Amino acid sequence: MTSLNFIHPPDFKNITKNKKIEQAPLPKRAILHLSQHAGAPSEPAVNAGDSVKTGSLIAHAKGFISANLHSSISGRVIAIEESPHPIIGISKAIIVESDGQDTKASLDSIPAKDVSALSKEEIAALIREAGIVGMGGAAFPLSVKLNPPPAKKINTLIINGAECEPFLTCDHRLMLEKPKEIILGAQLMAKVLGVKDIIIGIEENKLDAIENIKSALFRIKDENCRINMVNLKTRYPQGGEKQLIETLLDKEVPSGGLPLDIGVVVNNVQTVFAVYEAVYLRKPLYERVITVSGSFPSIAKNILTRIGTPIKDILDYCGLSPKAGVYKIIMGGPMMGVAQFNLNAPVIKGTSGILALDKKFKVKEEELGCIRCSRCIEACPLGLMPCAIGLSVKKERFDIAGSYDPLDCIECGSCSFVCPSKIPLVQLIKLAKLKIKRR
């Protein structure tokens, strides 16, 4: 059983919400991981010594749940080797050294023609070829989401503009600066899925984006589908797929199920924008907008950066001083992001932000025992029992932990945030998920 539980952490979005998207410099070296999406790592299509262009295919999707990978700069492949990864520690990557030219390659499998004349199969092929994955964080290959089993009839496409994670404003800026492109991308997705209803959900703390999208909708008509813009209350984790579906459609995704089980596909606005670029501009996914923010307002920016750019290069460009007093660097937001231990790890397709935090963000109190206050249960948007899962994991009773449905956890971090005993519940639940999946 689910329940619509939400929390209200401070959002810190004022730091960057008025920062226009600026182009970050090209990295001297791009570290392009073969694992930067859900599913099987992609398979290299190049060797060390090969010349590549920006947008050249350098690794193929391997299997059904996988994604193509393209070079984000032009230059030469200097190695295919283990390299720091921002989420999984270390993993194989194709390293490309820049020639400084940024010579472009483009998607060319479908002959150039008017986009309105493209069939849904041709649009799907361009999306697959472009290596697009969910850019809200989960990095699930989009071509798989857009190709549901024949028995699953999809009737609604939801465009997720909630961006509920504190600090992050990259989606907000994209909706302000590229509203027309987002709508055109959504229409392409709807054509592939054969759906007539698109809902765009945006939180009310982004009223300017709501107005922008509304006025773009007024200008771009599509007789084949209805697009409905819905204002969402500002609360966390509003942008989780299951929460968004429940808020917008009053429908519940069954435990262990997927949105497509109830006829829904959800995609983040950056993913939709990437679809626009793939189909209208024949551009593979090799760059994305990220927010750089945290405790040091002088470094705050929204930047369009190449995938594979090391975190260190980004922080240098934003002007983070080595003497600034950084306590922690996080990739992503503070609730769901991952602390970084090696700043040579690069931006990947699912990276939404980089936060530099000072000691004010350090959890000061020591972890205490559970006082059975049930706050974690009240906060969980999935109606889970985080305390029971956490306690079982601490006792290494993964069999008991498994009986509390930890695999349904979306790792939103709300339980850890509210726990007065500072128990790292989300980390314990992640461990439970890992152990249960391995069995």
User: Rule CB under 6 A: which residues touch ligand SF4?
Assistant: 370-376, 379-382, 384, 386-387, 390, 409-415, 418-421, 423, 425-426, 429
Closest approach, Cβ 238 to ligand SF4, in A, equals 13
Q: Which residues contact 252 (CB under 8 A, 6 or more apart)?
A: 2, 242, 245, 246, 262
> What's the rounded Cα separation, in Å, for the pair 160 and 155?
16
Give 233 or 422: the residue with its C-beta nearer to ligand SF4.
Answer: 422
Nearest to 339 by CA among 360, 350, 355: 355
Minimum CB separation from ligand SF4 for residue 388, in Å?
9
Judge residue 60's burial from the number of C-beta atoms within 10 Å of its C-beta, 0-12 exposed, 13-18 middle, 19 or more buried.
middle
Nearer to ligand SF4, 264 or 336 (CB): 336
CA 31/CA 423 separation, integer angstroms: 35
Distance of CA 342 to the CA centre of its chain: 21
Smallest separation, CB 69 to ligand SF4 (Å): 30
Min dist. Cβ of residue 428 to ligand SF4 (A):
9
- In the complex with ligand SF4, the residue whose CB is nearer, 72 or 243, is 243
Edge-first strand listing for the sheet containing 226-232? 226-232, 197-203, 156-161, 264-268
d(CA 28, CA 308) in angstroms, rounded, equals 10
If DSSP codes are grouped into helix, strand and coil, which group holds residue 138?
Answer: coil
CA distances from 41 to 44, 212, 343, 374 (A): 9, 38, 22, 40
Cβ closest to ligand SF4, residue 2 vs residue 106: 2
Q: Residue 308 or residue 332: which is nearer to ligand SF4 going by CB?
A: 332
CB contact at 8 A, 170 and 239: no
**Torsion sign over Cα 83, 85, 89, 92:** negative
- CA dist 188 and 389 (Å) reads 42
Query: Residue 76 in contact with residue 99, Cβ under 8 Å?
Result: yes
- To the nearest whole angstrom, how small is the minimum distance from the Cβ of residue 293 to ligand SF4? 22
Closer to ligand SF4 by Cβ: residue 226 or 394: 394
Query: In the complex with ligand SF4, which residue's Cβ is closer, 156 or 414?
Result: 414
CA–CA dist 184, 180 (Å, integer)? 6
Residue number, 191 or 375, with CB nearest to ligand SF4: 375
Q: How far is the CB of 168 from ligand SF4 (least distance, A)?
A: 17
Structural element, H or E, at residue 189: helix 179-193
Q: Give CA–CA dist 13/166, Å, rounded.
A: 6
Minimum distance, C-beta of residue 6 to ligand SF4, in the bound complex (Å): 10
CB of 422 to ligand SF4, least distance (A): 8
Q: Which is nearer to ligand SF4, 80 or 376 (CB)?
A: 376
Give the nearest distance from C-beta 64 to ligand SF4 in angstroms: 27
